[in-house]
Amino acid sequence: MTYAALAAGFAPFQVLASELLPHAFAEDDGSHDVAHLLRVWNNAEAIRRKEGGDAETLAVAVLLHDCVAVEKNAPQRATASRQAAVKATALLSDLGWSAQRTKAVAHAIEAHSFSAGVTPETHLAKTLQDADRLDAIGIVGVARCFYIAGRMGSGLYDPIDPRASSRQLDDKRFAMDHFRTKLFKLADGFQTATGRHMAAERHQRLQRFYDLFFEEVGA
């Protein structure tokens, strides 16, 4: 499939998307691929339609928010969004974007990441952060969790103490630990009213999966 065909999913900004997509994601990471970008765009548009904001700037922020790929278990993981913001700034400068709009996109990209710990200061940044985090919870969040665990060589769960009742959580070793170390915490941190509403529904699905999983394994 060509970039032009993929860019159609970002209508009415498909021309801009076709220019940015070659720089926007790592093709060997199925958790941060073009499908992820499209899901985040759909989430972002759902928020924007109810809460406002500039659609084109939002589309660009979505397209470039993962333009630098760093594995989840890499020591420099917390710097990935900062690196992406720097790369996005250079790309938008080459496209002739104004310094003001470029700075707005760069801040949104840097602040979207959970691991970066940067507070989103603008409506654009809050919308992007919410849209991206919506893709980390719910059933899609479950699928991405296990996909990433497979990339990292993690086990599904600890057969001795599945729920970590008597041990420290370790989501680098066990995928199910990641629910409690991160995924269950995400719903409390949403920035927009629309994002919070969408997150509450997905969080319930996430919790239901967790409970059913441990029921099936006898834990």
Q: What is the pLDDT along the chain (219 residues), one digit of tens a residue?
A: 577 888 999 999 999 999 999 998 876 777 788 899 999 999 999 999 999 999 999 999 999 999 887 766 555 666 888 999 999 999 999 999 999 999 999 999 999 987 777 899 999 999 999 999 999 999 999 999 999 999 989 999 999 999 999 999 999 999 999 999 999 999 999 999 999 999 999 999 999 999 999 999 998
In the chain, domain spans: 1-119, 136-219
Q: Which fold has domain 136-219?
A: Methane Monooxygenase Hydroxylase; Chain G, domain 1 (1.20.58)
DSSP letter (8 states) at residue 136: T
Q: Which of 34, 30, 39 is nearest to 148 (CA)?
A: 30
* The predicted structure's pLDDT at residue 86: 94
* The predicted structure's pLDDT at residue 30: 77
In this structure, are residues 206 and 179 in contact, taking their beta carbons and an 8 Å threshold? yes
* The predicted structure's pLDDT at residue 219: 86
DSSP letter (8 states) at residue 8: G
CB atoms within 10 A of CB 1: 6
For residue 195, count CB atoms less than 10 angstroms from its CB and return exposed for 0-12, middle for 13-18, buried for 19 or more: buried
